[in-house]
Amino acid sequence: MFGSYLVIMGVLMIVSGFLLIFAKNVYRAGNSNQIDEYTLNSFSNDSRASSRHANHEAFLNKTEVQGGGIITLGPISIILGSDHKSTQVLIIQAVVLMVLYFLIFV
């Protein structure tokens, strides 16, 4: 009985993830004020380039994205990280997931 609840919760989490990604893409498509690198390069030789200079400066001062992920195959975890701190956090999360796995299923 408990296992069926876990399956239902897992399916609901996957479906909600797809819905969130879809909603984000719809929101980004409707927001035409976002400027990406391609847009900045296409306006570099245009007369509107001077008006876009402030946006270009904001684009150049962007921060670097850092993160990682855990691939869990049963009790075994594969940890991927772009920097040391995010990898340490993921290692702790992987250990917690392995302990929960052994407590629930073994």
- Residue of 65, 43, 64 whose CA lies nearest to 54: 43
Q: Which residue has the tokens 């990898």?
A: 87
* pLDDT given at position 30: 72
> Over its length of 106 residues, how does the chain's per-residue pLDDT go in tens digits?
778 888 899 899 999 989 998 988 888 777 656 555 555 555 555 555 455 555 566 566 666 778 888 888 877 888 998 889 989 999 998 899 888 888 888 7
Close Cβ partners of 74 (under 8 Å, ≥ 6 residues apart): 101
* pLDDT given at position 25: 83
Exposure of 28 by Cβ count < 10 A (0-12 exposed, 13-18 middle, 19+ buried)? exposed
For 52, the 3-state DSSP assignment is: coil
* pLDDT given at position 88: 92
The pTM assigned to this predicted structure is 0.43
* pLDDT given at position 4: 87
